[in-house]
Amino acid sequence: MAQKPHVAIFPSPGMGHLIPLAELAKKLALRYDLSSTFIVPSIGPPPEAQTKVLGSLPAGINYISLPPVSFDDLPGIRAETQISLTITRSLSSIRDVLKSLVASTRLVALVLDLFGTDVIDIAMEFSVPSYIASLSTGCATPVHGRDLPDPIQDRKDDAYKWFLHHSSRHGLAEGILLNSFVDLEPETIKALQDQELGNLPPIYPVGPIINSGSSIGVSGHECLQWMDDQPHGSVLYISFGSGGTLSFEQLNELAMGLEISEQKFLWVVRSPDKSASASYFSAKSNTDPFSFLPEGFLDRTEGQGLVVPSWAPQIQVLSHGSTGGFLTHCGWNSILESIVHGVPLIAWPLYAEQKTNAVLLSAGLKVALRPEVDGNGLVGREEIAKVVKGLMQGGEGVAIRNRMKGLKEAAAKAVSEEGSSTKSLHELVSRWKN
Ligand code: UDP
């Protein structure tokens, strides 16, 4: 009997890359009977959240952890640079794994993300076609320079060179998967598919592909019991993704803003740090985050809110009836998860391409309020209380909620049997199988 087609999947470091690719692999296995192997690079010991996701993959999806690389020689480099270098420093072990997969499986494709383009060369050595999974927006809404992705803000920084490097290599891929759908970004997708505009590989909008809650078992589940006791649609969920951290001053303003808003909240708190991406590779705090909250805050807000350290079961929270809004750092996965569950947003971007995503949400799709940053680079407590009340109680909040409902329906349609994303994935898999 002919061997099943097999797909190699190479996520660059970070939960925001691993989670949607894990969900893609599950879809390929369940719907198309395609098996796959994750090739997982790492910097130090794997974060708990990563181990949980990989450990809960169903039969037919394997993973191989690459030997960790060290950055002792390059202290203080930016996260984006570190991600790219993790991959270049892992190339020889990636080659070994691909070689053994080619020998032992019917390997039909290698799927990698934006930061993994150096692996395309190795796949070519083995004549395996590469596909880039684009896990964020192409934002067609006009964007101010300051809201463009972080790595392109400073041309002297290595992160900028890496961004150009990876962007220039997209043409080497056999195809590009978008974790998006036609009704969410019609202009962008139309432009990318317009063959007259350039030599881009075929584009496959296959989203939204979102977290199905495989992080069950990771800390933070006690909060769901608290949510069960709250009134319908009353709670604002606050999370800055797997890696986002606030400064000490900003953490305090947020705490005070929530308190004076008098709205219910569930807040995933991390210890403060000067770098907004301080927890990116660990997805948790190494110190007790609660010790940085304003004095008496936990007592004063008892009953009004709940704080959980480092990690919450986000999908279970977003799909919970008590959730009425989400203050998000605008990571693309968090955005898609909110759309699928119809949760209106407050856009509070921190790093990477999050500010661009925030523009799409607030100015483009108009499904988010975006608080203003003051002259000191902080969002003040009064501003926070204003947007929180605006979203949870104000007329603007109602309009945003209704628009989000529309997007929720469009997302469900895209992944339905006859939906645009289902058709697109079907086309891609047919190409792989033949
Ligand atoms: N996530 C979670 N609990 C948390 C923080 C994050 O389950 O406390 C999940 C979230 O559901 C999403 C992913 O981690 O699937 C974060 O991806 P996103 O693109 O939103 O942000 P990133 O972490 O890449 O900045």
Which is nearest to 45 in space by CA: 65, 15, 31? 65
Of all protein residues, whose CA lies closest to atom 13 belonging to ligand 1?
16
Report the alpha-carbon distance of residue 276 to residue 272 in Å, rounded. Answer: 9
Residue 229 designated active-site: no
Polymer length in residues for the chain: 434
DSSP-assigned letters across all residues of 121-153 = HHHHHTTPPEEEEE-S----S---GGGS-GGGS
- Residue 401 and residue 233 in contact, taking contact as beta carbons nearer than 8 Å: no
367: Cβ–Cβ under 8 A, 6 or more apart, which residues?
339, 344, 345, 361, 400, 403, 404, 407
Sheet holding 61-65, edge to edge: 61-65, 35-40, 5-10, 106-113, 130-134, 175-178, 203-205
Report the alpha-carbon distance of residue 29 to residue 10 in Å, rounded. Answer: 16
Give the pLDDT score at 199.
76
Amino acid identity at 207: G
Spot the catalytic one: 17, 166, 320, 329: 17
With a 6 A CB cut-off, is 14 part of the ligand 1 pocket? yes
DSSP-assigned letters across all residues of 196-243 = GG--PPPEEE-------STTBTBS-TTHHHHHHTSPTT-EEEEE-TTT
Residue 233 corresponds to which tokens in the numbers above? 């649609």
Low-confidence residues in the chain, pLDDT < 70? 1, 214-220
With a 6 A CB cut-off, is 19 part of the ligand 1 pocket? yes
- Cα 241 to ligand 1 centroid, rounded to whole Å: 4
Residue 297 buriedness (CB in 10 A; 0-12 / 13-18 / 19+): middle
With a 6 A CB cut-off, is 282 part of the ligand 1 pocket? no
Report the alpha-carbon distance of residue 279 to residue 289 in Å, rounded. Answer: 12
- Cα 337 to ligand 1 centroid, rounded to whole Å: 9
Which is nearest to 188 in space by CA: 147, 141, 150? 141
With a 6 A CB cut-off, is 243 part of the ligand 1 pocket? yes
Give the pLDDT score at 277.
83
Give the pLDDT score at 75.
86
With a 6 A CB cut-off, is 20 part of the ligand 1 pocket? no
Residue 17 designated active-site: yes
Atom number of ligand 1 nearest to Cα 19: 15
Report DSSP state, residue 293. Answer: S
Give the pLDDT score at 329.
98
Spot the catalytic one: 6, 113, 147, 320: 113
- Residue 191 and residue 145 in contact, taking contact as beta carbons nearer than 8 Å: no
51: Cβ–Cβ under 8 A, 6 or more apart, which residues?
none
Give the pLDDT score at 263.
98
Give the pLDDT score at 411.
98
Report DSSP state, residue 302. Answer: B
With a 6 A CB cut-off, is 16 part of the ligand 1 pocket? yes
- Cα 148 to ligand 1 centroid, rounded to whole Å: 21
Give the pLDDT score at 409.
98
> What beta strand segments (E) does 225-376 contain?
235-239, 264-269, 305-309, 323-328, 345-347, 368-369
Which is nearest to 293 in space by CA: 251, 333, 327, 260? 251
